[in-house]
Amino acid sequence: MEAKELLAKLEEKLEQCESRCDGPHLVVLDKGFVFHGNLVPPAKPGDTYLLTNCVNVRRWSKGGFGGLSLGAKTAEAVLDASANLAFKERAMIFACPTPGDWRTR
């Protein structure tokens, strides 16, 4: 495989990964902060991620993180209103996609 073909395949895979990054996510940031909202990936490498329509997950009492990823209500999560967040990739420990109705599940 030539370098151009390989580069084209890598760029295609990167676009596929980035397209799956948007939408509702639980985002774990450094210092232990957990937020839920619509994750918008950066427009170009080095830019900031944006989390819109978000809430801070202050605590939850059932099901561990796996239970929380399935739904806030069943995990008995306490959610606090939050402004939109912008953060660098280095601040994100990981992000977990969630169902669209996560807050009421």
Q: For 61-89, how does the pLDDT look when each residue is reduced to its tens digit (9 = 90+)?
A: 999 999 999 999 999 999 999 999 999 99
- In whole angstroms, what is the distance from residue 33 CA to residue 85 CA? 12
* Cβ density class 76-94: b for 16+ within 10 Å, e for less: ebebeebeebebeeebbee
Residue 1 clears pLDDT 70, i.e. is over it: no
| Domain 22-104 = CATH 2.30.30.100 | yes
pLDDT score at 17: 53
Instruction: Tell me what the mean pLDDT of segment 10-16 comes to.
Output: 60
Structure tokens at 22: 């948007």
Q: What is the pLDDT of residues 15-62, one digit of tens each?
A: 555 545 789 999 999 999 999 999 999 988 889 999 999 999 999 999
pLDDT of residue 45: 87
pLDDT of residue 5: 78
